[in-house]
């Protein structure tokens, strides 16, 4: 079974692969939820299709290395790192404000970690940021958190200083880290202000990838995350598959729910918890079909192991989908077998393992259907969610890669779907949506 695929439309779609910046709509109250718009950080940059892909892949591969480091640490019961290494980086930036009076800054949005933090004065080691560094002495709502607080105890690594203030260090799997004092502050999303949000006031911040913003906002499952602190059991996002001039959306609280008129299109699968990787959103992937052929992949390839290794997570901060090596090899082999195009080695140009030559002058080609079989939800992806094309280069490539550790369902595969996280029901839903219409 094949799907019609327009290479010209895929070029436009690829603009959504770059990092996105979030701009908050001011029309919502915290109690009713709020809506956050996403805009590409690469907007205005003169990049070719595959240059945009390579940028996203470089960030994604760095993130994958961190995930695998976390998985290895979790499976090593003797390691002190098993609960103290986190994802960091990501593909989205969130514009928000902190303090009273409010100081604006941009932070990386990360579904793979929990802690909210920003750089603070006085800085011992800080990276360059576009906005002024937050000075807690200038804010009337700033308050240090004592060591006895639940948020301090939720930190993987903390110490008490001489004033009984909670000091933290948050590591991201390589040399990247943030270190400082845990405090509470008023955070503002447009006109929506939320007091007493716990965050890291970082005076020693080092590592690759943070310079995209001035800190990080964790949307993971742990008690330190924005989702947990807002006590909102639902959030969702909808990523567009169009050019960078269009916006995507993040929805928090009551606004996150799907429109009732789309109920017949909702595909829902359980969320899985890991006691050793509490931040991650694991999904039960049971198999994959290419062109109607169910591949002989044992479901155990995607199973979360008791030692915290393996499993498949859904992640907004990783560009491509990465499958464990044995599963990716089967997908690759079957995809090549069913695609009526000449295979070409374009890894040096694209960074992708599976590429085909586009026929000269052709704008439409047929590619095999690709279905991810989650428990209770067969997600039949549109071609633009797994094929990347550039007619000027004469190439079409499969937007997937291999992993030696855990598997990741990346953001390319989530385009033009409302992805709804319901933490009360412990489910995740996919709803086909024209995301630029939200």
Active site residues: 110, 315
Burial class from Cβ neighbours inside 10 Å (0-12, 13-18, 19+) for residue 65 reads middle
C-alpha to C-alpha distance for 346 and 358, rounded to whole angstroms: 12
Helices marked H in 33-167 — which ranges?
A: 49-75, 150-154
C-alpha to C-alpha distance for 318 and 91, rounded to whole angstroms: 7
User: Strand 2-6 and strand 92-98: pairing?
Assistant: unpaired
Q: Tokens representing 300? A: 């155990």
Cβ atoms of 16 and 241 closer than 8 Å:
yes
* 3-state secondary structure (DSSP) of residue 54: helix
Helix (H) or strand (E) holding 313: strand 312-314
Q: Output the CA torsion sign for 348, 350, 353, 354.
A: negative
Q: How far apart are the first and last CA of the chain?
A: 32
C-alpha to C-alpha distance for 365 and 199, rounded to whole angstroms: 50
DSSP 308: S
Burial class from Cβ neighbours inside 10 Å (0-12, 13-18, 19+) for residue 340 reads exposed
β-strand partners of 185: 197
C-alpha to C-alpha distance for 34 and 246, rounded to whole angstroms: 19
Cβ atoms of 341 and 2 closer than 8 Å:
no
Cβ atoms of 56 and 284 closer than 8 Å:
no
């Amino acid at each position: 079974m094949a799907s019609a695929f327009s290479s010209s439309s895929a070029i436009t779609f690829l603009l959504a692969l770059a990092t996105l910046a979030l701009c908050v709509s001011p029309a919502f109250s915290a109690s009713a939820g709020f809506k956050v718009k996403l805009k590409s950080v690469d907007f205005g940059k003169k990049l070719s299709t595959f240059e945009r892909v390579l940028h996203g892949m470089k960030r994604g591969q760095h993130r994958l290395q961190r995930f695998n480091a976390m998985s290895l640490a979790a499976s090593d019961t003797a390691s002190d790192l098993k609960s103290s290494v986190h994802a960091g980086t990501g593909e989205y930036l969130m514009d928000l404000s902190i303090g009273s009076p409010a100081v604006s800054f941009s932070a990386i949005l990360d579904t793979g970690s929990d802690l909210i933090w920003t750089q603070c004065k006085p800085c011992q080691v800080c990276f360059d940021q576009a906005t002024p560094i937050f000075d807690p002495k200038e804010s009337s709502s700033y308050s240090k958190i004592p060591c006895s607080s639940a948020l301090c105890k939720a930190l993987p690594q903390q110490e008490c200083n001489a004033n009984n203030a909670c000091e933290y260090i948050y590591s991201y799997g390589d040399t990247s880290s943030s270190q400082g004092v845990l405090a509470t502050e008023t955070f503002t999303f447009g006109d929506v202000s939320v007091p007493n949000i716990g965050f890291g006031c970082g005076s020693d911040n080092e590592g690759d990838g943070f310079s995209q913003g001035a800190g990080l906002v964790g949307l993971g499952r742990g008690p330190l995350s924005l989702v947990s602190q807002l006590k909102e059991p639902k959030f969702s996002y909808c990523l567009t598959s169009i050019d960078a001039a269009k916006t995507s959306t993040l929805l928090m609280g009551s606004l996150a729910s799907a429109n009732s008129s789309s109920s017949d299109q909702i595909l829902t699968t359980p969320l899985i918890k890991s006691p050793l990787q509490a931040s991650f959103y694991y999904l039960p992937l049971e198999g994959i079909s290419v062109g109607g052929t169910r591949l002989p992949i044992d479901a155990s390839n995607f199973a979360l192991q008791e030692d915290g290794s393996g499993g498949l997570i859904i992640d907004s901060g990783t560009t491509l989908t990465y499958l464990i090596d044995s599963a990716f090899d089967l997908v690759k082999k079957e995809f090549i077998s069913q695609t009526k195009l000449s295979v070409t080695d374009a890894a040096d140009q694209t960074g992708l393992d599976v590429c085909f030559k586009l026929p000269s002058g052709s704008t439409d080609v047929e590619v095999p259907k690709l279905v991810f079989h989650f428990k209770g939800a067969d997600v039949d992806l549109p071609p633009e969610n797994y094929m990347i094309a550039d007619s000027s280069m004469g190439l079409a490539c499969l937007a997937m890669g291999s992993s030696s550790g855990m598997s990741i369902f990346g953001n390319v595969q989530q385009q033009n779907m409302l992805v709804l996280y319901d933490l009360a029901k412990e489910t995740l839903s996919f709803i086909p949506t024209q995301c630029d219409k939200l």
